[in-house]
C-alpha cells in the first residue's frame, strides 16, 4: 500500500448526542477518484469497524448523503468507512482485483484506527453489497483473511447468470430508455468480467457470482453457513413494471430470497431477509426508487449487526 495521506478532516455536531469526526483518506494524494475512503469516527473510543461499499457509479461522498447509517454507527461506537476501490465509480466489486483490494484495505484501516482486535462489520448497496457477500464467502473459507462478525447487503444482485438473462430480455423488449441503456452497458460488462456468456460456459458465473441457482452444489455459499447475514430489498413490482419494464424475475429480491432460503436450509440461523414497503427514495434527487440506500433502516440495521 502507498503511504496514506490525510487530505482533510471535518467535524459535525450531532445535537444532544455526540460529536462525530470525519476525514477523507487518499492512498495517492494526486488521485482523488480512486482508492480512497471517508471515515466517520465516534467521539468515544471506537468499539469496531463498519466498512461500507457503494453502488456502481456512486462516490463515497454521495453514498454518505443517501443514508444515516454512519451516524447511528458512530452513536454505537463504530468507525464507519465508505470506500472507493481501484476503479472508483466503475468498480465491479466481485472481480478478483476488487477482492484483492479489500484484502489489503481492511487490515490497513483497522491498523490506522486501532481496531485490529475489534469486531469487523461489512455492508454494501447494490453491487457494493455483492462485493461484501463475495468477500465474506472468501474470508469464512480462508484462514488468512479477516472474517467479518456480520454482514448486510441492500438490494444486491447476487446471481449474475440470472442477471445476464434479465439484461438480455431488457435489451430486446424494454421500451424505457434508461432500462435499455443500463441493460446494454451491463450485458457487455458481464461479458468482460466473466469472459463468457451463460450460453457458452456457466462455469465462470458459478465461480465469480456470490450465489448461482444453477450451481446445484451451492459451492460458493457453503462458507456462509456460520456467517450472520442480513439482506434487505424492496420488491415494489408496480414501480418496476411502470418505470423500468421489469418483472419479479428481474428484481434482486429474487436473488436475496433464494440465497437466504438456501442458507437457512444449511442451518444458518442468523440468515435474515427483510422486505420493505414504500421506503425507497433517493435523498439527493428526491425521487422514488426502491433500489436505494433508504430501504435500510439505519437503527434496525446497526442494532442487528452489533447484536450478532
Question: What size, in residues, is the chain?
Answer: 308
Domain 5-157+218-306: assigned CATH number: 3.40.50.1820
Calculate mean pLDDT across residues 45-62.
98
Range list of β-strands (E), 4-147? 5-14, 18-26, 36-41, 48-53, 78-84, 120-125
Angle at the Cα of 74 from the Cα atoms of 81 and 259, rounded to 5 degrees: 60
Lowest mean pLDDT among 2-16, 75-89, 260-274: 2-16
User: What does the mean pLDDT of the chain come to?
Assistant: 93
Interval 210-230: pLDDT, tens: 999 999 999 999 999 999 999
Nearest CA to 50 out of 108, 133, 106 is that of 106
Q: Are 240 and 246 in contact (CB under 8 A)?
A: yes
| Res. 10: pLDDT tops 80 | no
Residue 280 phi/psi, 5-degree rounding, is -80, 115
Report domain extents, the chain: 5-157+218-306, 160-208
CB within 8 A of 212, min separation 6: which ones? 159, 160, 161, 202, 205, 206, 220
Q: pLDDT class for 18, splitting at 50, 70, 90?
A: very low
| Res. 202: pLDDT tops 70 | yes
Calculate mean pLDDT across residues 15-42.
85
| Res. 269: pLDDT tops 70 | yes
Lowest mean pLDDT among 1-5, 24-28, 71-75: 1-5
Strands ordered across the beta sheet of 48-53:
5-14, 18-26, 36-41, 78-84, 48-53, 120-125, 150-154, 229-233, 271-275
Q: pLDDT class for 19, splitting at 50, 70, 90?
A: low
% of the chain with per-residue pLDDT over 70: 94
Interval 121-163: pLDDT, tens: 999 999 999 999 999 999 999 999 999 999 999 999 999 999 9
Amino acid at each position: 500500500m502507498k503511504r496514506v495521506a490525510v487530505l482533510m478532516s471535518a467535524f459535525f455536531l450531532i445535537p444532544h448526542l455526540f460529536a462525530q469526526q470525519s476525514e477523507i483518506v487518499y492512498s495517492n494524494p494526486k488521485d482523488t477518484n480512486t482508492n480512497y475512503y471517508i471515515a466517520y469516527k465516534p467521539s468515544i473510543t471506537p468499539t469496531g469497524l463498519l466498512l461500507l461499499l457503494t453502488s456502481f457509479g456512486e462516490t463515497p461522498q454521495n453514498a454518505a448523503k443517501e443514508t444515516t447509517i454512519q451516524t447511528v454507527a458512530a452513536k454505537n461506537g463504530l468507525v464507519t468507512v465508505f470506500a472507493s476501490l481501484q476503479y472508483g465509480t466503475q468498480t465491479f466489486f466481485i472481480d478478483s482485483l476488487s477482492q484483492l483490494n479489500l484484502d489489503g484495505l481492511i487490515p490497513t484501516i483497522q491498523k490506522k484506527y486501532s481496531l485490529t482486535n475489534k469486531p469487523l462489520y461489512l455492508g454494501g448497496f447494490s453491487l457494493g453489497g455483492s462485493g461484501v457477500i463475495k468477500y465474506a464467502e472468501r474470508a469464512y473459507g480462508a484462514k488468512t483473511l479477516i472474517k467479518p462478525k456480520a454482514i448486510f447487503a441492500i438490494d444486491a444482485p447476487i446471481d449474475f447468470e440470472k442477471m445476464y438473462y434479465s439484461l438480455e430480455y431488457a435489451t430486446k423488449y424494454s421500451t424505457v430508455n434508461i432500462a435499455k441503456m443500463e441493460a446494454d452497458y451491463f450485458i457487455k460488462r458481464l461479458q468482460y468480467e466473466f469472459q463468457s456468456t451463460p450460453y457458452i460456459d456457466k462455469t465462470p458465473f458459478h465461480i465469480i457470482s456470490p450465489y448461482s441457482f444453477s450451481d446445484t452444489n451451492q459451492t460458493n455459499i457453503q462458507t456462509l453457513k456460520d456467517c450472520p447475514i442480513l439482506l434487505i430489498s424492496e420488491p415494489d413490482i408496480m414501480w418496476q413494471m411502470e418505470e423500468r419494464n421489469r418483472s419479479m424475475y428481474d428484481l434482486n429480491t429474487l436473488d436475496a430470497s433464494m440465497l437466504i432460503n438456501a442458507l437457512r436450509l444449511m442451518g444458518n440461523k442468523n440468515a435474515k431477509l427483510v422486505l420493505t414497503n414504500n421506503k425507497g427514495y433517493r435523498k439527493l434527487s428526491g425521487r422514488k426508487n426502491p433500489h436505494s440506500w433508504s430501504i435500510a433502516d439505519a437503527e434496525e440495521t446497526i442494532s442487528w449487526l452489533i447484536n450478532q
